[in-house]
Amino acid sequence: MNQRIIAIDGPAGSGKSTVARLVANQLGWSFLDTGAMYRAVTAEVLRRGIDVHDDVAVASLASSVVIVTTPRVSVDGRDVGDELRTETVNVAVSIVAANAAVRRAMVARQREIAAAQPLGTVVEGRDIATVVFPHATLKVFLTASLEERATRRDEEGTESIERRDRADSLRRASPLRQADDAVVLDTTGRDVQEVVNEIVQCLKSQDSA
Ligand code: DC
């Protein structure tokens, strides 16, 4: 497999989406927000009135729908972009993301999407470097203080972010974990472009090594 992947993992509000999107733009690569995929499944589960705790029904939905993430996020062609960050989705997404069968379906789709990109893909999530692309070209783990992460996600609130981080880190299926070979960057108080440049520089130095 010679696809080029930059894997960016980290907790909620660590700056993953913003940074990953800008790195992708700078390199002319594609960008994949895997959190949006778990959110899209969750939005569809809620819309269909399926119990989020019904693992079998949720997994069956996740493996039967077609999720597209660009230019807009859709499920079976229905645009769900406006439903992804509601409070109900914020609460239910950790339960859906802890479902191992849902994760298998999402990981397969993520690999398929990345394989179709001509140059490379910047993929952000929680398990990208550890599970989805363990052989990624570059692995980055972004962190930031809880206060700053909550400010960045001001519509969500500190308690909800803490609860989600705990659920994401303690679950059995692919918990949020820093890969041993990841470059760790603390984005607290740092300029976004500076972080982006550092990641692009890491890729370049790796390429010329
Ligand atoms: O990055 P985000 O906040 O949009 O992610 C939403 C939820 O999806 C998050 O609470 C954990 C889950 N998630 C995951 O389990 N694995 C991923 N690769 C991406 C997100």
Average pLDDT over residues 100-124: 97
Sheet bearing 183-186, strands edge to edge: 30-33, 120-125, 4-9, 138-143, 183-186
Q: Whose CA is nearest to atom 20 of ligand 1?
A: 35
Q: What is the mean pLDDT of the chain?
A: 94
pLDDT of residue 41: 98
Least confident of 134-138, 140-144, 150-154: 150-154
Its domain, for residue 127, covers 4-208
List the CATH number of the domain containing 152.
Answer: 3.40.50.300
Number of the ligand 1 atom closest to the C-alpha atom of 94: 10
Average pLDDT over residues 15-39: 97
Quick one: pLDDT band at residue 120, thresholds 50, 70, 90?
very high
Ligand 1 contacts CB of residue 133 (under 6 A) = no
Q: What pLDDT does residue 155 have? A: 74
Give a three-class secondary structure readout of the chain: CCCEEEEEECCCCCCHHHHHHHHHHHHCCEEEEHHHHHHHHHHHHHHCCCCCCCHHHHHHHHHHCCEECCCCCEECCEECHHHCCCHHHHHHHHHHHCCHHHHHHHHHHHHHHHHCCCCEEEEEECCHHHHHCCCCCEEEEEECCHHHHHHHCCCCCHHHHHHHHHHHHHCCCCCCCCCCCCEEEECCCCCHHHHHHHHHHHHHHHHHC
Q: What does the pLDDT read at residue 140? A: 98
Mean pLDDT of 39-44: 98
Q: How far is the CA of 97 from the centre of ligand 1 (A)?
A: 7
For ligand 1, whether the C-beta of 149 sits within 6 Å is: no
Instruction: Output the pTM of the full model.
Output: 0.95
* Cα of 26 from ligand 1 centre, angstroms: 24
Statement: residue 135 has pLDDT above 60: yes
| Cα 5 to averaged position of ligand 1 atoms, centre (Å) | 18
Residue 168 beta carbon below 6 angstroms from any ligand 1 atom: yes
CA of 204 to the centre of ligand 1 (A): 28
Residue 127 Cβ contacting ligand 1 at under 6 Å:
yes
Q: What is the pLDDT of residues 43-101, one digit of tens each?
A: 999 999 999 999 999 999 999 999 999 999 999 999 999 999 999 999 999 999 999 99
Report the number of distinct structural domains present in the chain: 1
**Top mutation candidate among 34, 86, 104 for ligand 1, by most atoms within 8 Å of CB:** 34
Pocket flag, ligand 1, residue 175 (CB < 6 Å): no
pLDDT confidence of residue 2 = 62
- Which atom of ligand 1 is the closest one to the Cα of 84? 4
Instruction: Judge if the beta carbon of residue 97 lies within 6 A of ligand 1.
Output: yes
- The rounded percent of the chain whose pLDDT value lies above 70 is 99
* pLDDT > 60? residue 1: no
Question: pLDDT tens, 166-208?
Answer: 999 999 999 999 999 999 999 999 999 999 999 999 999 988 8
> Which of these, 18, 17, 19, 51, lies nearest to 34 by C-alpha position?
17
